[in-house]
Structure 1
Protein backbone atom coordinates (compact mmCIF):
# COMPACT_ATOMS: atom_id res chain seq x y z
CA UNK A 1 0.00 0.00 0.00
CA UNK A 2 1.05 3.59 -0.57
CA UNK A 3 1.82 5.72 2.47
CA UNK A 4 -0.89 8.17 3.52
CA UNK A 5 -0.04 11.87 3.75
CA UNK A 6 -1.03 13.12 7.20
CA UNK A 7 0.21 16.68 6.69
CA UNK A 8 -3.19 18.38 6.92
CA UNK A 9 -4.95 15.97 9.28
CA UNK A 10 -5.73 16.60 12.96
CA UNK A 11 -4.41 14.26 15.62
CA UNK A 12 -7.62 12.26 16.16
CA UNK A 13 -8.02 11.61 12.45
CA UNK A 14 -4.36 10.69 12.18
CA UNK A 15 -4.93 7.94 14.75
CA UNK A 16 -7.95 6.63 12.85
CA UNK A 17 -6.09 6.67 9.55
CA UNK A 18 -3.14 4.83 11.08
CA UNK A 19 -5.51 2.15 12.42
CA UNK A 20 -7.09 1.68 9.00
CA UNK A 21 -3.74 1.68 7.20
CA UNK A 22 -2.16 -0.84 9.58
CA UNK A 23 -5.24 -3.07 9.45
CA UNK A 24 -5.17 -3.06 5.65
CA UNK A 25 -1.45 -3.90 5.70
CA UNK A 26 -1.93 -6.80 8.13
CA UNK A 27 -4.82 -8.13 6.06
CA UNK A 28 -2.62 -7.93 2.97
CA UNK A 29 0.06 -9.97 4.75
CA UNK A 30 -2.51 -12.61 5.76
CA UNK A 31 -3.63 -12.67 2.12
CA UNK A 32 -0.22 -14.07 1.22
CA UNK A 33 -0.20 -17.85 1.31
CA UNK A 34 2.84 -20.04 0.58
CA UNK A 35 2.74 -22.57 -2.23
CA UNK A 36 1.17 -25.84 -1.18
CA UNK A 37 -1.29 -24.16 1.18
CA UNK A 38 -4.53 -25.95 2.00
CA UNK A 39 -7.70 -24.97 0.14
CA UNK A 40 -9.18 -23.44 3.27
CA UNK A 41 -6.17 -21.19 3.84
CA UNK A 42 -6.13 -20.12 0.20
CA UNK A 43 -9.83 -19.25 0.35
CA UNK A 44 -9.31 -17.25 3.56
CA UNK A 45 -6.49 -15.38 1.84
CA UNK A 46 -8.82 -14.36 -0.98
CA UNK A 47 -11.32 -12.82 1.42
CA UNK A 48 -8.46 -11.01 3.16
CA UNK A 49 -7.44 -9.50 -0.20
CA UNK A 50 -10.92 -8.07 -0.63
CA UNK A 51 -11.02 -6.82 2.95
CA UNK A 52 -7.60 -5.19 2.69
CA UNK A 53 -8.76 -3.30 -0.39
CA UNK A 54 -11.93 -2.16 1.41
CA UNK A 55 -10.06 -0.93 4.49
CA UNK A 56 -7.45 0.85 2.39
CA UNK A 57 -10.23 2.56 0.44
CA UNK A 58 -11.93 3.48 3.70
CA UNK A 59 -8.86 5.43 4.79
CA UNK A 60 -8.57 7.33 1.51
CA UNK A 61 -12.26 8.26 1.47
CA UNK A 62 -12.25 9.30 5.13
CA UNK A 63 -9.28 11.57 4.51
CA UNK A 64 -11.20 13.34 1.73
CA UNK A 65 -14.36 13.59 3.90
CA UNK A 66 -16.45 11.52 1.47
CA UNK A 67 -19.00 10.40 4.06
CA UNK A 68 -21.38 8.73 1.62
CA UNK A 69 -18.69 6.47 0.19
CA UNK A 70 -17.35 5.75 3.68
CA UNK A 71 -20.86 4.53 4.53
CA UNK A 72 -20.95 2.39 1.38
CA UNK A 73 -17.68 0.70 2.31
CA UNK A 74 -18.88 0.27 5.91
CA UNK A 75 -21.85 -1.72 4.59
CA UNK A 76 -19.47 -4.10 2.78
CA UNK A 77 -17.31 -4.39 5.89
CA UNK A 78 -20.40 -5.42 7.86
CA UNK A 79 -20.93 -8.27 5.38
CA UNK A 80 -17.28 -9.32 5.77
CA UNK A 81 -17.74 -9.24 9.53
CA UNK A 82 -20.72 -11.60 9.21
CA UNK A 83 -18.62 -13.99 7.14
CA UNK A 84 -15.61 -13.88 9.48
CA UNK A 85 -17.83 -14.57 12.47
CA UNK A 86 -19.44 -17.55 10.73
CA UNK A 87 -16.03 -18.95 9.72
CA UNK A 88 -14.56 -18.45 13.19
CA UNK A 89 -17.54 -20.12 14.88
CA UNK A 90 -17.49 -23.04 12.44
CA UNK A 91 -20.91 -22.36 10.91
CA UNK A 92 -19.39 -21.90 7.45
CA UNK A 93 -16.16 -22.86 5.68
CA UNK A 94 -13.95 -20.45 3.77
CA UNK A 95 -13.53 -22.83 0.85
CA UNK A 96 -17.30 -23.30 0.53
CA UNK A 97 -17.66 -19.52 0.20
CA UNK A 98 -14.81 -19.27 -2.30
CA UNK A 99 -16.12 -22.14 -4.44
CA UNK A 100 -19.78 -21.07 -4.33
CA UNK A 101 -21.70 -20.16 -7.46
CA UNK A 102 -23.73 -16.97 -7.81
CA UNK A 103 -26.94 -18.95 -7.30
CA UNK A 104 -25.56 -20.61 -4.16
CA UNK A 105 -24.53 -17.24 -2.73
CA UNK A 106 -28.01 -15.85 -3.32
CA UNK A 107 -29.60 -18.88 -1.67
CA UNK A 108 -27.21 -19.44 1.23
CA UNK A 109 -24.71 -16.63 1.67
CA UNK A 110 -26.67 -13.38 1.69
CA UNK A 111 -26.66 -11.45 5.01
CA UNK A 112 -30.14 -12.61 6.00
CA UNK A 113 -28.75 -16.14 6.43
CA UNK A 114 -26.45 -14.99 9.23
CA UNK A 115 -28.98 -13.37 11.57
CA UNK A 116 -30.06 -16.69 13.10
CA UNK A 117 -26.62 -18.15 13.78
CA UNK A 118 -26.64 -19.17 17.46
CA UNK A 119 -25.07 -16.42 19.55
CA UNK A 120 -24.77 -14.09 16.57
CA UNK A 121 -24.43 -10.41 17.57
CA UNK A 122 -25.95 -9.26 14.27
CA UNK A 123 -29.41 -7.96 13.49
CA UNK A 124 -31.61 -7.27 10.51
CA UNK A 125 -32.13 -3.71 11.77
CA UNK A 126 -28.41 -2.90 11.85
CA UNK A 127 -27.86 -4.22 8.36
CA UNK A 128 -30.94 -2.37 7.14
CA UNK A 129 -29.51 0.90 8.49
CA UNK A 130 -26.27 0.33 6.59
CA UNK A 131 -28.19 -0.34 3.38
CA UNK A 132 -30.32 2.77 3.85
CA UNK A 133 -27.40 5.12 4.53
CA UNK A 134 -24.87 4.02 1.94
CA UNK A 135 -25.58 0.55 0.69
CA UNK A 136 -28.30 1.63 -1.72
CA UNK A 137 -29.22 4.99 -3.28
CA UNK A 138 -31.91 6.34 -0.93
CA UNK A 139 -33.24 9.75 0.13
CA UNK A 140 -31.70 9.17 3.58
CA UNK A 141 -28.29 8.77 2.01
CA UNK A 142 -28.43 12.22 0.42
CA UNK A 143 -27.60 13.87 3.75
CA UNK A 144 -24.18 12.16 3.69
CA UNK A 145 -23.16 13.83 0.42
CA UNK A 146 -22.41 17.24 1.95
CA UNK A 147 -18.78 16.34 2.79
CA UNK A 148 -19.41 17.17 6.45
CA UNK A 149 -16.42 16.70 8.72
CA UNK A 150 -18.49 15.54 11.70
CA UNK A 151 -20.61 13.03 9.76
CA UNK A 152 -17.56 11.56 8.08
CA UNK A 153 -15.68 11.24 11.38
CA UNK A 154 -18.63 9.48 13.01
CA UNK A 155 -19.01 7.05 10.10
CA UNK A 156 -15.25 6.41 10.03
CA UNK A 157 -15.30 5.58 13.74
CA UNK A 158 -18.21 3.20 13.31
CA UNK A 159 -16.52 1.53 10.35
CA UNK A 160 -13.39 1.01 12.45
CA UNK A 161 -15.49 -0.93 14.96
CA UNK A 162 -16.34 -3.37 12.19
CA UNK A 163 -12.70 -3.54 11.07
CA UNK A 164 -11.66 -4.42 14.60
CA UNK A 165 -14.20 -7.25 14.82
CA UNK A 166 -13.14 -8.60 11.44
CA UNK A 167 -9.51 -8.64 12.55
CA UNK A 168 -10.43 -10.25 15.88
CA UNK A 169 -12.45 -13.10 14.32
CA UNK A 170 -9.80 -13.64 11.65
CA UNK A 171 -6.98 -13.83 14.16
CA UNK A 172 -8.88 -16.30 16.34
CA UNK A 173 -9.62 -18.46 13.30
CA UNK A 174 -5.96 -18.48 12.26
CA UNK A 175 -4.78 -19.22 15.81
CA UNK A 176 -7.12 -22.22 16.07
CA UNK A 177 -6.63 -23.65 12.58
CA UNK A 178 -3.06 -22.69 11.70
CA UNK A 179 -1.30 -22.31 15.08
CA UNK A 180 2.21 -22.01 13.61
CA UNK A 181 1.19 -19.17 11.32
CA UNK A 182 -0.90 -17.70 14.10
CA UNK A 183 2.12 -17.59 16.39
CA UNK A 184 4.12 -15.70 13.78
CA UNK A 185 1.41 -13.05 13.51
CA UNK A 186 0.61 -12.76 17.22
CA UNK A 187 2.90 -9.83 17.97
CA UNK A 188 1.69 -7.74 15.05
CA UNK A 189 -1.95 -8.41 15.90
CA UNK A 190 -1.33 -7.81 19.62
CA UNK A 191 0.18 -4.38 18.92
CA UNK A 192 -2.66 -3.46 16.58
CA UNK A 193 -5.21 -4.71 19.10
CA UNK A 194 -3.73 -2.42 21.75
CA UNK A 195 -4.02 0.53 19.38
CA UNK A 196 -7.67 -0.33 18.77
CA UNK A 197 -8.33 -0.46 22.52
CA UNK A 198 -6.66 2.95 22.87
CA UNK A 199 -8.89 4.26 20.09
CA UNK A 200 -12.03 2.94 21.81
CA UNK A 201 -11.06 4.61 25.09
CA UNK A 202 -9.60 7.90 23.86
CA UNK A 203 -11.07 8.91 20.50
CA UNK A 204 -13.38 11.88 21.20
CA UNK A 205 -15.77 11.18 18.31
CA UNK A 206 -16.03 7.48 19.12
CA UNK A 207 -16.83 8.27 22.75
CA UNK A 208 -19.47 10.82 21.73
CA UNK A 209 -21.37 8.33 19.53
CA UNK A 210 -20.92 5.16 21.57
CA UNK A 211 -24.34 5.28 23.23
CA UNK A 212 -26.11 6.11 19.97
CA UNK A 213 -24.53 3.24 18.08
CA UNK A 214 -25.62 0.83 20.80
CA UNK A 215 -29.26 1.90 20.96
CA UNK A 216 -30.00 4.34 18.14
CA UNK A 217 -30.12 4.28 14.35
CA UNK A 218 -27.96 6.48 12.13
CA UNK A 219 -30.72 9.08 11.79
CA UNK A 220 -31.02 9.50 15.58
CA UNK A 221 -34.27 7.58 16.04
CA UNK A 222 -34.62 4.78 18.65
CA UNK A 223 -34.75 1.24 17.33
CA UNK A 224 -38.17 -0.39 17.46
Structure 2
Protein backbone atom coordinates (compact mmCIF):
# COMPACT_ATOMS: atom_id res chain seq x y z
CA UNK A 1 0.00 0.00 0.00
CA UNK A 2 1.04 3.64 -0.55
CA UNK A 3 1.44 5.61 2.70
CA UNK A 4 2.26 9.28 3.38
CA UNK A 5 3.87 10.09 6.75
CA UNK A 6 4.07 13.64 8.17
CA UNK A 7 6.32 14.61 11.08
CA UNK A 8 8.76 17.50 11.69
CA UNK A 9 11.04 15.17 13.70
CA UNK A 10 13.41 13.72 11.07
CA UNK A 11 14.47 10.76 13.22
CA UNK A 12 10.87 9.84 13.96
CA UNK A 13 9.99 10.19 10.29
CA UNK A 14 12.81 7.89 9.23
CA UNK A 15 11.79 5.29 11.81
CA UNK A 16 8.19 5.40 10.59
CA UNK A 17 9.32 5.06 6.98
CA UNK A 18 11.70 2.18 7.74
CA UNK A 19 9.03 0.35 9.78
CA UNK A 20 6.34 0.58 7.12
CA UNK A 21 8.66 -0.24 4.23
CA UNK A 22 9.91 -3.29 6.13
CA UNK A 23 6.40 -4.78 5.96
CA UNK A 24 5.97 -4.01 2.27
CA UNK A 25 4.41 -0.53 2.09
CA UNK A 26 5.70 2.37 -0.02
CA UNK A 27 6.14 5.25 2.44
CA UNK A 28 6.56 8.89 1.33
CA UNK A 29 7.63 11.37 4.01
CA UNK A 30 6.85 15.05 4.61
CA UNK A 31 8.10 17.52 7.26
CA UNK A 32 5.42 20.23 7.07
CA UNK A 33 1.71 20.34 6.45
CA UNK A 34 1.83 22.56 3.39
CA UNK A 35 4.08 20.12 1.51
CA UNK A 36 1.71 17.25 2.22
CA UNK A 37 -1.40 19.19 1.18
CA UNK A 38 0.26 20.29 -2.08
CA UNK A 39 1.07 16.64 -2.76
CA UNK A 40 -2.48 15.50 -1.99
CA UNK A 41 -3.84 17.86 -4.65
CA UNK A 42 -2.18 15.73 -7.35
CA UNK A 43 -1.24 12.39 -5.77
CA UNK A 44 -3.25 9.54 -4.22
CA UNK A 45 -2.39 7.54 -1.11
CA UNK A 46 -3.94 4.58 0.68
CA UNK A 47 -3.25 5.87 4.22
CA UNK A 48 -1.83 8.89 6.07
CA UNK A 49 0.21 8.89 9.31
CA UNK A 50 0.21 12.39 10.85
CA UNK A 51 1.94 14.15 13.72
CA UNK A 52 -0.12 16.71 15.66
CA UNK A 53 2.27 19.60 16.32
CA UNK A 54 3.88 20.92 13.14
CA UNK A 55 5.71 24.15 12.25
CA UNK A 56 3.03 25.55 9.93
CA UNK A 57 -0.32 24.07 11.01
CA UNK A 58 -1.82 21.57 13.42
CA UNK A 59 -2.68 17.96 12.72
CA UNK A 60 -6.44 18.56 13.22
CA UNK A 61 -6.29 21.45 10.72
CA UNK A 62 -4.70 19.14 8.18
CA UNK A 63 -7.32 16.44 8.77
CA UNK A 64 -10.12 18.98 8.43
CA UNK A 65 -8.70 20.22 5.11
CA UNK A 66 -8.45 16.66 3.83
CA UNK A 67 -12.03 15.81 4.79
CA UNK A 68 -13.34 19.07 3.30
CA UNK A 69 -11.41 19.00 0.03
CA UNK A 70 -10.74 15.40 -1.02
CA UNK A 71 -13.50 13.21 -2.37
CA UNK A 72 -11.58 10.03 -1.53
CA UNK A 73 -11.97 8.80 2.05
CA UNK A 74 -8.32 8.24 3.03
CA UNK A 75 -7.80 6.53 6.42
CA UNK A 76 -5.77 8.73 8.81
CA UNK A 77 -3.73 7.69 11.86
CA UNK A 78 -2.46 10.25 14.35
CA UNK A 79 1.01 9.43 15.75
CA UNK A 80 1.66 12.08 18.37
CA UNK A 81 2.95 13.07 21.82
CA UNK A 82 -0.55 14.26 22.73
CA UNK A 83 -1.94 11.86 25.31
CA UNK A 84 -4.80 13.58 27.15
CA UNK A 85 -8.29 12.21 26.66
CA UNK A 86 -9.46 15.56 25.24
CA UNK A 87 -6.71 15.34 22.59
CA UNK A 88 -7.80 11.86 21.55
CA UNK A 89 -11.42 13.00 21.38
CA UNK A 90 -10.49 16.07 19.31
CA UNK A 91 -8.31 14.04 16.93
CA UNK A 92 -10.99 11.46 16.25
CA UNK A 93 -13.78 14.05 16.11
CA UNK A 94 -12.04 16.09 13.42
CA UNK A 95 -11.98 13.08 11.10
CA UNK A 96 -8.99 10.88 11.99
CA UNK A 97 -9.59 7.12 12.12
CA UNK A 98 -7.13 6.09 14.84
CA UNK A 99 -4.80 7.60 17.44
CA UNK A 100 -1.39 6.34 18.61
CA UNK A 101 0.73 7.92 21.33
CA UNK A 102 4.52 8.35 21.10
CA UNK A 103 7.06 6.97 21.77
CA UNK A 104 6.28 4.80 18.80
CA UNK A 105 6.26 1.06 19.31
CA UNK A 106 7.11 -0.64 16.03
CA UNK A 107 4.80 -3.62 16.46
CA UNK A 108 1.88 -1.43 17.46
CA UNK A 109 2.34 0.89 14.46
CA UNK A 110 2.37 -2.04 12.06
CA UNK A 111 -0.71 -3.58 13.71
CA UNK A 112 -2.69 -0.33 13.66
CA UNK A 113 -1.78 0.41 10.03
CA UNK A 114 -2.71 -3.09 8.92
CA UNK A 115 -6.01 -2.94 10.84
CA UNK A 116 -6.92 0.39 9.22
CA UNK A 117 -6.10 -0.90 5.76
CA UNK A 118 -8.19 -4.05 6.32
CA UNK A 119 -11.08 -1.94 7.55
CA UNK A 120 -11.10 0.39 4.55
CA UNK A 121 -9.90 -1.81 1.68
CA UNK A 122 -11.38 -5.23 1.08
CA UNK A 123 -8.98 -8.14 1.29
CA UNK A 124 -8.42 -9.60 -2.19
CA UNK A 125 -9.84 -13.07 -2.67
CA UNK A 126 -7.21 -15.76 -3.30
CA UNK A 127 -8.89 -17.48 -6.24
CA UNK A 128 -11.31 -15.30 -8.17
CA UNK A 129 -13.21 -12.02 -8.04
CA UNK A 130 -16.29 -11.05 -10.00
CA UNK A 131 -17.59 -7.61 -10.92
CA UNK A 132 -20.71 -8.00 -13.03
CA UNK A 133 -19.67 -9.41 -16.40
CA UNK A 134 -15.99 -9.50 -15.44
CA UNK A 135 -14.49 -12.55 -13.71
CA UNK A 136 -10.83 -12.27 -12.65
CA UNK A 137 -8.83 -15.39 -11.76
CA UNK A 138 -5.46 -14.24 -10.31
CA UNK A 139 -4.07 -17.77 -10.41
CA UNK A 140 -2.96 -17.99 -14.02
CA UNK A 141 -3.93 -14.34 -14.63
CA UNK A 142 -7.12 -15.24 -16.50
CA UNK A 143 -10.06 -12.96 -17.25
CA UNK A 144 -13.50 -13.90 -18.54
CA UNK A 145 -16.20 -11.53 -19.78
CA UNK A 146 -19.66 -13.11 -19.87
CA UNK A 147 -17.96 -16.48 -19.50
CA UNK A 148 -15.64 -15.99 -22.47
CA UNK A 149 -11.85 -15.83 -22.02
CA UNK A 150 -10.17 -12.54 -22.88
CA UNK A 151 -6.55 -12.30 -24.03
CA UNK A 152 -4.46 -9.91 -21.91
CA UNK A 153 -0.74 -9.68 -21.21
CA UNK A 154 0.35 -10.28 -17.61
CA UNK A 155 0.83 -6.54 -17.04
CA UNK A 156 -2.54 -5.69 -18.59
CA UNK A 157 -4.23 -8.23 -16.33
CA UNK A 158 -2.49 -6.79 -13.25
CA UNK A 159 -3.51 -3.24 -14.17
CA UNK A 160 -7.12 -4.21 -14.92
CA UNK A 161 -7.46 -6.14 -11.65
CA UNK A 162 -5.90 -3.26 -9.68
CA UNK A 163 -8.38 -0.80 -11.24
CA UNK A 164 -11.37 -3.01 -10.38
CA UNK A 165 -10.14 -3.57 -6.83
CA UNK A 166 -9.92 0.21 -6.45
CA UNK A 167 -13.14 0.96 -8.32
CA UNK A 168 -14.35 4.51 -7.69
CA UNK A 169 -10.96 5.81 -6.52
CA UNK A 170 -8.90 8.38 -8.38
CA UNK A 171 -5.45 6.76 -8.66
CA UNK A 172 -2.51 8.99 -9.49
CA UNK A 173 -0.05 7.94 -12.17
CA UNK A 174 2.73 7.54 -9.59
CA UNK A 175 0.42 5.44 -7.42
CA UNK A 176 -0.24 3.11 -10.35
CA UNK A 177 3.43 2.92 -11.33
CA UNK A 178 4.59 2.19 -7.78
CA UNK A 179 1.89 -0.41 -7.15
CA UNK A 180 2.25 -2.20 -10.48
CA UNK A 181 5.96 -1.83 -11.22
CA UNK A 182 7.00 -2.32 -7.61
CA UNK A 183 9.28 0.64 -6.92
CA UNK A 184 8.87 4.19 -5.60
CA UNK A 185 11.53 5.37 -8.10
CA UNK A 186 11.38 2.94 -11.00
CA UNK A 187 14.02 3.32 -13.71
CA UNK A 188 12.74 4.82 -16.95
CA UNK A 189 9.73 6.37 -15.23
CA UNK A 190 8.81 8.54 -18.24
CA UNK A 191 8.89 5.52 -20.52
CA UNK A 192 6.84 3.52 -18.01
CA UNK A 193 4.33 6.35 -17.82
CA UNK A 194 3.82 6.20 -21.59
CA UNK A 195 3.62 2.42 -21.34
CA UNK A 196 0.93 2.79 -18.67
CA UNK A 197 -1.12 5.00 -21.01
CA UNK A 198 -0.82 2.39 -23.75
CA UNK A 199 -1.89 -0.42 -21.40
CA UNK A 200 -4.84 1.62 -20.11
CA UNK A 201 -5.99 2.40 -23.65
CA UNK A 202 -5.91 -1.27 -24.63
CA UNK A 203 -7.65 -2.37 -21.41
CA UNK A 204 -10.44 0.16 -22.04
CA UNK A 205 -10.86 -1.21 -25.56
CA UNK A 206 -10.55 -4.96 -24.88
CA UNK A 207 -12.76 -4.89 -21.75
CA UNK A 208 -15.12 -2.39 -23.45
CA UNK A 209 -15.14 -0.21 -20.32
CA UNK A 210 -17.75 2.25 -21.51
CA UNK A 211 -20.87 3.69 -19.84
CA UNK A 212 -23.24 1.61 -21.99
CA UNK A 213 -21.60 -1.49 -20.46
CA UNK A 214 -21.80 -0.22 -16.88
CA UNK A 215 -18.29 1.18 -16.41
CA UNK A 216 -16.31 4.29 -17.24
CA UNK A 217 -12.49 4.29 -17.28
CA UNK A 218 -11.49 7.92 -17.49
CA UNK A 219 -8.27 9.92 -17.42
CA UNK A 220 -8.24 12.88 -15.01
CA UNK A 221 -5.95 15.54 -16.45
CA UNK A 222 -2.76 16.06 -14.46
CA UNK A 223 -3.64 13.34 -11.94
CA UNK A 224 -4.37 9.82 -13.10
CA UNK A 225 -7.17 7.37 -13.82
CA UNK A 226 -10.49 6.38 -12.27
CA UNK A 227 -12.68 3.34 -12.99
CA UNK A 228 -16.32 3.98 -12.05
CA UNK A 229 -19.53 1.98 -12.07
CA UNK A 230 -22.22 3.62 -14.18
CA UNK A 231 -25.88 2.79 -13.55
CA UNK A 232 -28.60 2.98 -16.19
CA UNK A 233 -29.71 6.40 -14.97
CA UNK A 234 -26.14 7.75 -15.12
CA UNK A 235 -25.69 6.40 -18.64
CA UNK A 236 -28.97 7.88 -19.86
CA UNK A 237 -28.02 11.26 -18.36
CA UNK A 238 -24.60 11.11 -20.08
CA UNK A 239 -26.23 10.19 -23.38
CA UNK A 240 -28.75 13.03 -23.14
CA UNK A 241 -25.96 15.50 -22.30
CA UNK A 242 -23.88 14.35 -25.24
CA UNK A 243 -26.89 14.62 -27.57
CA UNK A 244 -27.69 18.15 -26.37
CA UNK A 245 -24.09 19.23 -27.00
CA UNK A 246 -23.92 17.69 -30.47
Return the TM-score normalized by structure 2: 0.30
Return the index of the structure with the highest Cα Rg.
2
Higher helix share: 1
Higher strand share: 2
Higher relative contact order (CA 8 A, sep 6+): 1
